[in-house]
């Protein structure tokens, strides 16, 4: 049966968004010799520049100013900005230091962290399969800690920062649209970006405009590379049921994993494979639970319509 147009469009937007995120490690490697702190600083600054242009084209300034006049929302967006900064900086540090596979692990763990946060923050009651998935993921983290010879802080920092970021964005999702949200977050982070550039300039030296035309253009384009997937994701989330969105999100870590193993030739010994396999088992359990819950909800809604 042919899929409805909104669903089909949502799938296309989602796959493109997660696909672009999956290719980010290769993009950041193209920025060498620019270091990770300078990359993130320019990413923030040029993201804001892209948002300003996009707001002008879409005439979204009125909506943005309406949000700016709400102090509580602005403080919430400041918190979101801190979380996404932690995520960006950790991710760029990982991808530029040969830890792409561990970064991929963070985004494999992220759905489980989201479930875990639901228990801690929202006091949600987990279904049996969700509890099993969380338990299995804890075992996987322990296995991987032994495999890496150290605590997998990169993976967990990425998973928890993005999980908390998603939670904060969900709280304001009915008020703050994707473009206004990214604009405000970037504006909050500009002072941090300026401090980073000052520190880099005093220590190793800023590379922007001093390496090559290609390097300069790619650093400017980092704003587009940051903003476009986020806007596509927002468009996808508005059109897709949660069960579809939950499945599509695995595109990113799968692509990152392939980049790390096939292109960066990162070592994957038996212990690391074991840890990843355990995580994948936990994700399979979560996916099965998600599909079952969605099917039960649809059947309940159908029964309700029939009774009426």
Residue 169 lies in a domain: yes
Residue 110's Cα: distance from chain center in Å? Answer: 9
Give residue 285's pLDDT.
Answer: 82
Number of domains in the chain: 1
**Within a domain: 78:** yes
Answer yes or no: is 17 within a domain. yes
Regions of the chain where pLDDT drops below 50:
1-2
Q: What's the 3-state SS for the chain?
A: CCCCHHHHHHHHHHHHHHHHHHHHHHHHHHCCCCCHHHHHHHHHHHHHHHHHHHHHHHCCHHHHHHHHCCHHHHHHHHHHHHHHHHHHHHHHHHHCCCCHHHHHHHHHHHHHHHHHHHHHCCCCCCCHHHHHHHHHHHHHHHHHHHHHCCCCHHHHHHHHHHHHHHHHHHHHCCCCCHHHHHHHHHHHHHHHHHHHHHHHHHCCCCCCCCCCHHHHHHHHHHHHHHHHHHHHHHHHHHHCCHHHHHHHCCHHHHHHHHHHHHHCCCCCCHHHHHHHHHHHHHHHHHHHHHHHHHHHHHHHHHHHHHHC
The model's pTM is 0.83
What pLDDT is attached to residue 298? 65
State the pLDDT at residue 297: 66
- Residue 132 inside a domain? The answer is no
Residue 303 in any domain: the answer is: no
CA triple 162-9-225, angle to 5 deg: 45
The number of beta carbons lying within 10 Å of the beta carbon of residue 178 is: 18
Is 292 part of a structural domain of the chain? no
Q: Give the pLDDT of residue 122.
A: 67
Is 15 within the bounds of a domain?
Answer: yes
Domain that holds residue 164: 5-114+152-266
pLDDT at 3: 55
pLDDT the model gives residue 241: 67
């Amino acid at each position: 049966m042919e899929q409805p147009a909104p669903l089909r469009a949502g799938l296309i937007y989602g796959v493109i968004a997660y696909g672009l995120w999956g290719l980010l490690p290769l993009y950041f490697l193209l920025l060498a010799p620019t270091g990770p702190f300078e990359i993130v600083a320019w990413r923030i600054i040029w993201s804001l520049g892209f948002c300003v242009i996009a707001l002008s084209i879409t005439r979204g300034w009125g909506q943005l100013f309406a949000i700016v006049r709400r102090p509580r929302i602005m403080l919430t967006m400041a918190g979101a900005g801190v979380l996404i900064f932690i995520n960006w900086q950790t991710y760029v540090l990982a991808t530029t230091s040969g830890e792409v596979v561990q970064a991929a692990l963070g985004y494999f763990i992220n759905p489980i962290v989201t479930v875990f946060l639901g228990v801690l923050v929202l006091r949600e009651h987990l279904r049996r399969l969700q509890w099993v998935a969380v338990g299995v993921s804890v075992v996987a983290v322990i296995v991987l800690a032994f495999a890496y010879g150290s605590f997998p802080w990169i993976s967990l920092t990425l998973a928890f920062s993005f999980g908390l970021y998603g939670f904060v964005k969900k709280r304001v999702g009915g008020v703050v649209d994707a473009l206004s949200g990214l604009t405000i977050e970037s504006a909050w982070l500009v002072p941090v970006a300026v401090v980073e550039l000052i520190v880099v300039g005093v220590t190793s030296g800023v590379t922007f405009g001093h390496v090559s035309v290609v390097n300069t253009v790619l650093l400017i384009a980092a704003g587009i590379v940051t903003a476009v997937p986020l806007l596509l994701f927002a468009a996808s989330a508005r059109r897709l049921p949660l069960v579809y969105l939950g499945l599509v999100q695995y595109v990113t870590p799968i692509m990152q994993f392939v980049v790390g193993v096939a292109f960066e030739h990162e070592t994957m010994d038996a212990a690391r494979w074991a840890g990843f396999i355990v995580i994948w088992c936990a994700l399979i359990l979560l996916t099965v639970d998600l599909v079952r819950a969605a099917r039960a909800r649809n059947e309940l809604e159908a029964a309700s319509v029939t009774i009426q």
